[in-house]
Amino acid sequence: MRIYLPGTWPMLRRLVKTGKFDPIGGTAFALTPKLRESYVTGDDEELEYAAMSEAARASLRLLAVEFGLGEDQVPARRVVVAADLEDVKLRPDLDDGAVRITGPVPMSAIAAVHVDTEEAEHAVREAAGAVDKADLGDLDAEFLVGEAEDQELSWYSPEEVSFLVDLGDL
């Protein structure tokens, strides 16, 4: 099953260093039956994009925690790691596309990495500070999150991740 793991820049650094992506709490997103039911129309590609978008919003939540802990030097970029795994458990108690995995994901299972560009950093930083309020219905916060979500994530192959991290850390 293709899954989408929310992450942050420090998590990408650890992936490069260890060769494994360690998702927080084992949380990921995928095209689950519940996600499919929540859409009236849409082919698999569109629904996979919806799952990836849920992971990108979860990445905003992770960034909000890092910024809240004073980690202001962390690049304000959403990170989503796409991987193919078999041992995935559905989480119907969470969001429609939420799944749980156990343990770190080896580089060999990673299909792609999606990351915001440098140009998106301002919008992403603002959205990370507003994502909780947006989830509670604050219209101004929803606007800020929408600004970040309007930014398309760039696609990188697993082989490009170390170069991406090196360039981003300059």
Mean pLDDT by 10-residue block, N- to C-terminus, for the chain (170 residues)? Answer: 95 95 93 81 85 95 86 88 94 84 95 95 94 94 95 95 79
pLDDT value of residue 167: 80
pTM of the model: 0.92
In angstroms, the CA 4 to CA 19 distance is 17
pLDDT value of residue 169: 58
Closest by Cα among 95, 104, 15, 17 to 51 = 95
Cβ 147 vs Cβ 126: under 8 Å:
yes
Mean pLDDT across the chain, nearest whole number? 91
Cβ 153 vs Cβ 123: under 8 Å:
no
Q: List the structure tokens of 120.
A: 């998106």
Rg (CA), the chain: 15
Domain residue ranges in the chain: 2-117
Q: Which residue in the block uniquely carries the two structure tokens 């992770």?
A: 62
pLDDT value of residue 106: 96
